[in-house]
Amino acid sequence: MRIAVVILNWNGEVLLERYLPSVVQHSGDAEIYVVDNASTDNSVGFIKANYPTVKIVQNQENGGFTTGYNTGLKNIDADIYCLLNSDVEVTENWLPPILKVFSENKEAAIIQPKILDLMRPDYFEYAGAAGGFIDKLGYPFCRGRIFQELEKDNGQYDDVTEIFWATGACMFIRKDVYWSVNGFDEHYFAHQEEVDLCWRAKNEGHKVFYVGTSKVFHLGGSTLSNMNPKKTYLNFRNSLFSITKNLPRRKALTIIGLRLLLDGIAALRFIFQFKFNHCFAILRAHLSFYRHFGKMYRSREKANFIPKYYYTKSIVWQHFVHHIKKFNDLVKH
């Protein structure tokens, strides 16, 4: 299988200088690409001067994560795409376990490795950890990460298992699957676009896997930190988008109603914490959701729907009421 490791870059010369060496050193026969989102720094010049074997695809504008990849990948031919954040440090032999699962399981369409925190290497990293799931109301969480609670890596997730979604920080996906579901939804711009992509792929009968025998280290927060109001806006809005698009009509509308109520409670919580920018971000997220609702709703008309999509009924209830902080302590439904 031909594999292309594809790094999306926007004004990330400092990150490329720090993390690209590990990718070049440990990626074997894979072709390495940098898709540049119209950077204004010296990113492209740095790559040309220091890594002539790395191929560059230059987009004409910064379309964010979604448009950036959709545009760039049209110029890349491979059997497997590895979408890799520019702030990820890979490890020796990170690719063979992934390729082994692809070779042995034809139903495996999307795979992610173990994602560890570069600053605290013994802990899982927020974006993906040991594989993603969602609850009945569409809230995403991970093995190894529930909301802001990160588990220490003690080998508890060194397995190969099916998951619901794989992180965009390091996502392997078959090229034919990526384009069969029309790539990332460009309305998302960034954040939770990988949840939607995996959900659509699963609705079409594909499977998503986690391979814990492959690991990478992610810096995280290099684009938007977890406490940035813009990230709050995108996460709240895009989660509503995914529910609208990927569930049967009656179920989607019921869950949206509940989510809007819970979002209101979250906004009040931000007010009590004096985080007024985050409260306003939720309001903006809802206004944008209403504005795009018709388009999101129409896009679901061609979709199939898997009967069981969630791991547990309410991650919010289990975490904030029952104080569960580890994935293996969750009640599965």
Please give the full DSSP string across 16-66, using - where no structure is assigned: HHHHHHHHHHH-TT-EEEEEEES-SSSHHHHHHHH-TTSEEEEESS--HHH
Give mean pLDDT in consecutive 10-residue pieces for the chain, a chain of 333 residues: 97 97 97 98 98 97 95 98 98 98 97 97 96 97 96 98 98 98 95 96 96 96 69 96 95 96 95 96 98 92 86 96 97 94
Among residues 16, 36, 139, 30, the alpha carbon closest in space to that of 89 is found at 16
Instruction: State the pLDDT at residue 62.
Output: 95
Write down all domains in the chain, each with its CATH number in brackets.
3-218 (3.90.550.10), 229-329 (no CATH)
Look-up of token digits 């050193």: 25
296 alpha-carbon distance from chain centroid:
19
209 DSSP β-pair partners: 111, 162
User: Distance (Å, rounded) from C-alpha 93 to C-alpha 290?
Assistant: 46
Task: Pull the structure tokens for residue 125.
Answer: 């990293």
- Pairwise CA distance, residues 262 & 259, whole Å: 5
pLDDT at 288: 98
DSSP structural state of residue 143: T
Distance in Å from the first CA to the final CA of the chain: 37
Taking the model in full, what pTM does it have?
A: 0.95
Question: Which pLDDT does position 225 carry in this prediction?
Answer: 56
3-state secondary structure of 5: strand
Give the pLDDT confidence score for residue 84 in this predicted structure: 98
d(CA 95, CA 214): 7
pLDDT at 224: 55
Q: What was the pLDDT predicted at 318?
A: 97
Beta strands in the chain (DSSP E): 3-9, 31-37, 55-59, 80-84, 88-90, 108-117, 132-134, 140-142, 145-146, 149-150, 160-163, 170-174, 207-218
Pairing of strands 160-163, 207-218: antiparallel
* Sign (positive or negative) of CA dihedral 52, 24, 112, 147: negative
Burial of 40 (0-12, 13-18, 19+ CB in 10 A): exposed
Predicted pLDDT of residue 253:
95
